[in-house]
Chain A
Amino acid sequence: MSTEQSTIDEPMIEVRGLTKRFKNRVAIEDLSFTVGRGQVVGFLGPNGAGKTTTMRILSCYMPATSGVVRVGGCNVHTRPDEVRRQIGYMPENNPLHVEMRVREYLKFRARLKGLGVRRSRDRVDHVTEICGLGDVSSKLIGHLSKGYRQRVGLADALVHEPGLLILDEPTIGLDPHQIRTVRKLIRDLGKEHTVLVSSHILSEIEMTCDHVIIIHHGKILEDDTVEGLRQKMSVERLVVAEIAAPREQLLDFLEHSAEILHFDLQPSDSDYLTCTLTPSAMMDLRPLVFETARENGWQLRELTRSRHSLEDIFLRVTRREEEDGF
């Protein structure tokens, strides 16, 4: 494959049959996925699932044991330098030279990545502005707060105008306010770049990404859009109702309704009982519950259908994997 062929049509990342074995441990096994240009993809998995390993292979830090990885049409094994030029990589924990000043560091990184003097100056100005580093550009990195350091890391990843950003746990160790800033930054960056962001925090992926890859024990369990995953998992949608009714009557209703496969009854405060209902078919139980309550004159103060958060999906998917013999 020649350079000319790496055009817009190619997916940004193409991974086929990727396996990485360390001495006596398989870190990732037979991963295959593609990431299209302009997508923001969340790479989700518990600690030790193989996220960092995959990202390190993508960024040419270490080679794969087997499998093919192409970034923007370039094979990471045979053309690592071209791949590196296309990637802005921010490793886990965002290591920086603490003894350097922000601007000095960014300039050093820009020059290291092959930018000329003038262009590196322009780019540094640009990323300083995007990442909101204007106020601290002459401060020592070691004196910055973690949130600012994270922004310096992002600025570094962006400085050579890469098509693809790979961010390994970008919000780890930040306080909620800083997390919000960084997330917003990632979302904004997603408008112009392809972004692959790893995390074990599910709500983060849910908020920043439009596509999710769930990885567990080095294998891909799900590869879908956030919405698609939700739909896939919504087969059993639970309904939660809080009803004030005589317990026997309520039990009688719950036990004899064909629509309710399974229920759970918990006393709430005062006279109310919290019922968690599982429908027997793919159906909405809410009208049924409402009608029954009205007919019997029960007080109904809450009636909701639970939407699956990514969290549930994740737990379910990883549990399914474990039940399958892992």
Chain B
Amino acid sequence: MRPFLTLTRRELAGYFVSLTGYLTIAAIQFLVGLGMLLLLEALNGQPFDMPLTEAFYNNLWFFLILLLAPPVVTMRTFAHEKFSGTYETLMTAPVSDTAVVMAKFTGALLFFLSAWAPVMAYPLILRHFAVDLAAVDWGALGGTFIGILLFGSLYTSIGCCMSSITRSQIIAAMNAFVIGLGLFLASYLSHVVAQQPGWEMDVFRHISLIDHMRDFTRGIIDVRQVVFYLSLTVFFLFLTTKSVESRRWR
């Protein structure tokens, strides 16, 4: 456990001492801010019939962050260490492969979440200025953050996996982004391909990240969806561990 904590701390520290870390936070905050601005304009003086959080998620910027940030955050996890050679000192320390993978994943995820943290202030601001005190629904808000956490875990695990198979951070980020985007675009299959009910429709609905996110932003936590995210996360982390182990098979 101690090596895991030490490594996680070091991973987190690595983000917070690098320029990339702060640039990522700044970019995320900028895009979230843009989304908030659109929301405020829509809200201004007009009646509004959906939860604020749903309106918040229902714009381009929100998903742009969710798709772009994890690859950027995770690209350095393994690729950078392999490139600089510190991978060898890391892997010859008495630490298990699993501990290394879990620490890198946890570090990246915590950093990703910390970049979202300032968003917590938005509901408070809204509450302060809104006429209707019920404008901010805490349940929906909690759901949204759980959604971001689950979505973030999945995309961070994809990013770690892609970073573990290459020495180039750029390639790692590209691969992670493409796979992430593919998974995201698969959401539209349920809207586009199968309009008639049937098993295809069921499957596509089940993997529709957009639909999941809508549920989360409405404050609905569906166990099936939680299992979907967690199992995929575990799957990609498993792949990462195998990829780290693979140096022994060659």
Contacts and interface: CB of A to CB of B under 8 A. Distances in A.
Interface of A: 22-23, 56, 59-63, 81, 84-85, 87, 89, 91, 93, 95-99, 108-109, 111-114, 156
Given A108-B10, A156-B89, A114 B250 contact: no
A23 B89 contact: no
Given A97-B86, A99-B14, A114-B2, A23 B92 contact: no
A59 B92 CA distance: 6
11 contacts: A62-B250, A63-B248, A84-B94, A95-B85, A97-B84, A109-B93, A111-B3, A111-B6, A112-B6, A113-B93, A156-B89
The SS class assigned to the A binding surface is loop
Interface string B212-248: 0000000000000000000000000000000000011
Contact of B248 (A62, A91, A96): A62
B7 interface: yes
Given A62-B247, A109-B93, A95 B84 contact: yes
B91 interface: yes
Contact of B88 (A87, A95, A109): A95
B86 A95 contact: yes
A52 to B, nearest CB: 10
Contacts of B91: 61
Contact of B17 (A23, A59, A84, A99): A99
Contacts of B195: none
Nearest to A61: B92
Given A95-B89, A111-B6, A85 B94 contact: yes
A50 to B, nearest CB: 16
A143 to B, nearest CB: 14
B18 interface: yes
A63 B91 CA distance: 13
Given A95-B85, A111-B2, A114-B2, A84 B250 contact: no
Contacts of A56: 88
B20 to A, nearest CB: 11
Contacts of A156: 89
B94 A114 contact: yes
Contacts of A23: 250
Interface in B166-217: none
B211 to A, nearest CB: 41
Contact of B7 (A63, A93, A112): A112
Interface string B73-94: 0000000000011111111111
A97 B100 CA distance: 16
A112 B3 contact: yes
Contacts of B6: 108, 111-112
B89 A91 contact: yes
Given A59-B92, A81-B94, 4 more contacts: A22-B250, A108-B6, A109-B89, A111-B3
Contacts of A22: 250
Contacts of B135: none
